[in-house]
Amino acid sequence: MSRSQAVPYVAPFVIFLALIGLNHLWPMAALTDEIVRLAVMLAVLFLVARPAMSFHVVKWGASMLVGVAIFVLWIAPDLLFPQYRSFFLFDNSVVGTARSSLTEAARHDGPVLFLRTLRAVAIVPIVEELFWRGWLLRWVINSDFEKVPLGSYSALSFWAVALLFASEHGPYWDVGLMAGIIFNWWMIRTKSLGDLILAHAVANACLSGYVIAAGKWEYWL
């Protein structure tokens, strides 16, 4: 029973990763890729994840501030130390290299940038928060995760999820770790998936705006 209950939380994340892998195997034009990813993920969220989704926000202002704080933490090391990301800990065969997947042409394509931003702000926060904070943070405590209230704490689940969240972000694993710690802490404080989705969306919106305005394409892996 618990396996079927996990599907709305886990399936969107698995399909999201599968789409990334598929594009590596069979590359598509940037606009086609964005349209396909957006269409598939919207369908998955509506048809599969809808029972698990919650957009009820407890702390609007604070959650938005958390998102802004994570954005600042994300770009701070590279602003303070311009060569920071070329250090071997963040540029190697294991974590990869901070290099954008967008072609030069795509960086000047308005529809591509709009859809990429839309995906980052409206899709990624839902997919990731369902998986990391909605499911895994509870599943590590008890495999029958629905018996575990949202925002429950155990040291193992807190740090396991933070570390795995960091690993998902490749050459940005260091700031990914800080973001994972803050997101986990905020889930424990608010016990609200809606607040985590909002904070994550604000962080991604700020980062997307910064990427486009400053030409820091390397943040869009």
pLDDT surpasses 90 at 2:
no
Domain range spanning residue 196? 2-219
- Which whole number is the average pLDDT over 167-184? 97
- Which whole number is the average pLDDT over 67-78? 97
pLDDT tens-place string over residues 83-95: 999 999 999 999 9
Closest CA to 124 of 15, 218, 2, 6: 15
Residues facing 96 on adjacent strands = 92
Question: What pLDDT was estimated at residue 1?
Answer: 47
Per-residue confidence band for 207, with pLDDT thresholds at 50, 70 and 90: very high
Q: Is 92 helix (H, G, I), strand (E, B) or coil?
A: strand
pLDDT tens-place string over residues 96-134: 999 998 999 999 999 999 999 999 999 999 999 999 999
Label each residue of 153-178 as H, E or C: CCHHHHHHHHHHHHHCCHHHHHHHHH
- The count of structural domains within the chain is 1
The answer to whether 196 touches 183, Cβ cutoff 8 Å, is yes
CA pair distance 189, 179, nearest whole angstrom: 15
Question: What pLDDT was estimated at residue 124?
Answer: 98
Q: Is 148 helix (H, G, I), strand (E, B) or coil?
A: coil
Question: What pLDDT was estimated at residue 73?
Answer: 97
Q: Is 215 helix (H, G, I), strand (E, B) or coil?
A: coil
